[in-house]
Copies of this chain bind each other. A is one copy, B any other.
């Protein structure tokens, strides 16, 4: 069984070799650039970790692992166009370097490349059984990629709506971020020919960890340690972002708290520090921190529990437990 670092090295080597010499340059150069911006490569590594629970020959599914990262980077590329973002990982976004049209077309090609990688076969066995597993993984991939589009659209829709429920928010973040994490693991299992039950348990693990991570991000925006969090505290509050914190508070607030919150949401000019501290005071009053922490704990526990249901030796799931703790910034 390879370590997470060894898997990451394989993933990065394969990404470096991808479309290395492909022509025309104007189409593939932005793709090479986007892929070279780096990142933690969480999705391909998770897929390989899922596969390793059942089979050892991870090299066979490197194309599928790279497909996930290519797809993920495609979403970043097109999102940057739509958000008019300037920078991505410290370097100018593709559309800032080559223009919108190049970003659109090269992004489209990346999505197709992801599908090409998904259907690439590295096997000398009789192809039939591998085909079947590949086919299941491919359907999981499509479920994930379409779900991410839907999640992205809900996120956009929610900005314009004032009646978003916590349940709708949870479904949006599930689609936009957790689905792909869960599917990465599920696809690894499917490619290894694991049972449907095992594949679904791995999906649940990835989904729940993803949700816990997103809620923790929402929580840290309000109550995080600025030195650790990385982003400025209160950013979500200042831009009225409909996070778990805000939506739950709106749901739990009494009439006077709700009125105060609505006033801050409607305010057009304000002192940023004052808005952050006023909104946080309302959060404190309804006790939202505790609610969010409990939700995170519950999701995290569900994630770890789903590993217990796997049919594999419990020792083998150690790396996934470590991954989950590490992602949440905890000691395992």
Contacts and interface: CB of A to CB of B under 8 A. Distances in A.
Contacts of A116: 142, 146
A152 B157 CA distance: 32
Contacts of A23: 150
A315 to B, nearest CB: 35
Given A24-B153, A149-B112, A119 B135 contact: yes
A115 B116 CA distance: 11
A105 interface: yes
Interface residues of A, number: 38
A82 interface: yes
Given A112-B142, A116-B142, A142-B119, A105 B149 contact: yes
B146 A112 contact: yes
Main secondary structure of the interface of A (DSSP, over half): helix
A109 B108 CA distance: 11
A145 interface: yes
* A-B CB proximity, top 8 nearest: A27-B153, A109-B149, A82-B101, A116-B142, A24-B153, A112-B146, A112-B145, A26-B153
Nearest to A117: B142
A267 interface: no
Copies in the complex: 2
Contacts of A108: 78, 107-108, 111, 149
A132 interface: yes
Contacts of A152: 105
B26 A157 contact: yes
Contact of A156 (B26, B119, B134, B157): B26
A292 interface: no
B119 A149 contact: no
A128 interface: yes
B119 A104 contact: no
Contacts of A135: 119, 131, 134-135
Interface string A285-324: 0000000000000000000000000000000000000000
A113 interface: yes
A154 interface: yes
A58 interface: no
